[in-house]
Amino acid sequence: MRIPILKLHEYLLITIQVDLDDKTALQFQEDLLEKIHNTGAKGVVIDLTSVDMIDSFIAKVLGDVVRMSNLMGAKVVLTGIQPAVAITLIDLGIMLKNVPTALDLEQGLDKLKQELGG
């Protein structure tokens, strides 16, 4: 299964609506980097509103994706992390440091604009 990546002007939008398994996550990582390369996008918003569970591996992949995208010159914002997911991540000791976050897609886009503009 592949996760659709939408292009909106110079941004890429991804809403993850299924529980990620390891394979899908890695596939997603490849797809996203490919897409950034092809489109030259400057910003990426990954929306996790409908994700109920994130394990340590998925968290690592997400952190990697953010760092890789940054290397390729695209800023990434994670949005809509659910309270339960946040608590799990903190309990697992995964702080996702240096990863910008926002409450929802709208604020995520605002944040991207702000970061790219500034």
Partner 1 sequence: MDKLIIQMFNKNRQEIFNRWMEEMESIREDHRLQNISDKAYKDTNVEFFNIIFAHLERNEYKANDELTDFAEKLFQLGWRLSYLTQGLQNFRRIILSVLFDTEKSSTKVFDMFDEIDRWIDPIINQLINESAKNWENTVSIQKVALQELSAPLIPVFENISVMPLIGTIDTERAKLIMENLLTGVIKHRSQVILIDITGVPVVDTMVAHHIIQASEAVRLVGAQCILVGIRPEIAQTIVNLGIDLGQFPTKSTLYKGMQSALEMTKRKITETE
Interface residues toward partner 1, by CB under 8 A: 78-83, 85-87, 89-90, 95-96, 101-104, 107-108
Instruction: Measure the CA–CA gap between 114 and 77, rounded to whole angstroms.
Output: 12
> Smaller CB distance to partner 1: residue 53 or 72?
53
> Smaller CB distance to partner 1: residue 36 or 54?
54
> Smaller CB distance to partner 1: residue 35 or 96?
96
H/E run at residue 104? none
Q: Shortest CA distance to 115 belongs to which of 65, 77, 79, 81?
A: 77
Shortest Å, Cβ 95 to partner 1: 5
Shortest Å, Cβ 6 to partner 1: 20
Q: 116, 42 in Cβ contact below 8 A?
A: yes
